[in-house]
Homo-oligomer: A and B are copies of this chain.
């Protein structure tokens, strides 16, 4: 079978270069072209030396029409508000699109409110949380989920779908790579090392995505607070789930095992750990009941740049092109 020809728009940020890393080792896909306004004309390896020898590519300027012609699959790894400028032409040019920005994750109205801007080009898209959306297979446009929603929704979806959840406090701890590769006060080493930085404590933009995905199962109250920890990659989500009716540990495990049957990238483990998922596409989940209360703690661990970003995007591509979903992604973490 011919390899999938892949284009990446915006291949200089963390999600873009993570796509390069992953597709470089994908047996059924090859990178046809990569774009970057900042680095057009430069060798990719001159900007990101770790890709040297393995990838011989040159950044190009964005020419959406040509990209659609040359590529089977296009990843848009650009900021929200920018993806919508490319997606319509990519689709009409016949390419399948996986958008890693927030532009196609929410209904237009919600999007416009949350992101404070008009949506220039709404299109029908499938929300690419693969484990919950089998319709990814037939999608032309997939909205790749946010990193926090991936960890949060996978942590609790089975319980929520059981109808027995009253409320959930999501307390998330993320590596700083989620904030991108531009130096900032928060990413300044002396500010983050030996520290932990809560931010957007009650106002994070990922909350509506979590609402949307869990709301498909049942109505639950959701509280969300993110923190940055002195770590490069990974998100640990501590989901404090308050049940309507107490459940035993083995009952809960049964619910999860059934819900995630056949989902190869979700693993039930004793204690989730960022080390166990670093660099890999796995989402590890651990479950804890409490002796004298209705609380269940569901912990999930993902690599925010892989299962929470570029790995999941490739998982979606695999399904859209009728490949096994593990193709090019079946490796362990680098602990």
Give the distance to chain B from A287, nearest Cβ to Cβ, in Å. Answer: 9
Within 8 A of B (CB), among A195-242: 195-199, 201-203, 221, 223, 225, 227, 229-234, 236, 238, 240
Within 8 A of B (CB), among A283-334: 284, 286, 288-291, 293, 295, 297, 299, 330-334
Whole-angstrom CA separation of A49 from B288 in the bound complex: 18
Within 8 A of B (CB), among A266-294: 267, 269-280, 282, 284, 286, 288-291, 293
Q: Which residue on B lies nearest to A289, using beta carbons?
A: B202
Q: Which of B227, B238, B289, B330 contacts A225 (CB 8 A)?
A: B238
A187 within 8 A of B: yes
A40 within 8 A of B: no
A79 within 8 A of B: no
Whole-angstrom CA separation of A177 from B267 in the bound complex: 26
A297 to B176, Cβ gap below 8 A?
no
A24 within 8 A of B: yes
A28 within 8 A of B: no
A54 to B332, Cβ gap below 8 A?
yes
| A50 with B275, Cβ < 8 A, contacts A225-B238, A331-B24 known | yes
| A50 with B197, Cβ < 8 A, contacts A187-B183, A225-B297, A293-B223 known | no
A202 to B276, Cβ gap below 8 A?
no
Chain B residues with Cβ below 8 Å from A201 are 288, 297, 299
- Taking chain A's interface residues, is the majority helix, strand, or loop, or is none over half, making it mixed? loop
A50 to B190, Cβ gap below 8 A?
no
Chain B residues with Cβ below 8 Å from A53 are 264, 267, 282
Chain B residues with Cβ below 8 Å from A188 are 181, 183, 187-189
Give the distance to chain B from A202, nearest Cβ to Cβ, in Å. Answer: 4
Whole-angstrom CA separation of A17 from B190 in the bound complex: 14
- Which residue of A195, A202, A233 has the most chain B CB atoms within 10 A of its CB atom? A195
| A273 with B195, Cβ < 8 A, contacts A190-B176, A299-B201 known | yes
B231 to A196, Cβ gap below 8 A?
yes
B176 to A288, Cβ gap below 8 A?
no
Q: Which of B177, B225, B274, B332 contacts A240 (CB 8 A)?
A: B225
A169 within 8 A of B: yes
Chain B residues with Cβ below 8 Å from A288 are 201-202
- Sample of 13 more A-B contacts, CB < 8 Å, known A194-B233, A196-B234, A225-B238: A25-B330, A49-B270, A49-B276, A169-B240, A173-B227, A183-B183, A183-B187, A189-B192, A194-B274, A201-B288, A202-B291, A230-B231, A240-B240
- The 7 A-B residue pairs with the shortest CB-CB distance in the complex, in nearest-first order: A50-B276, A202-B290, A183-B183, A279-B334, A171-B171, A201-B288, A183-B188
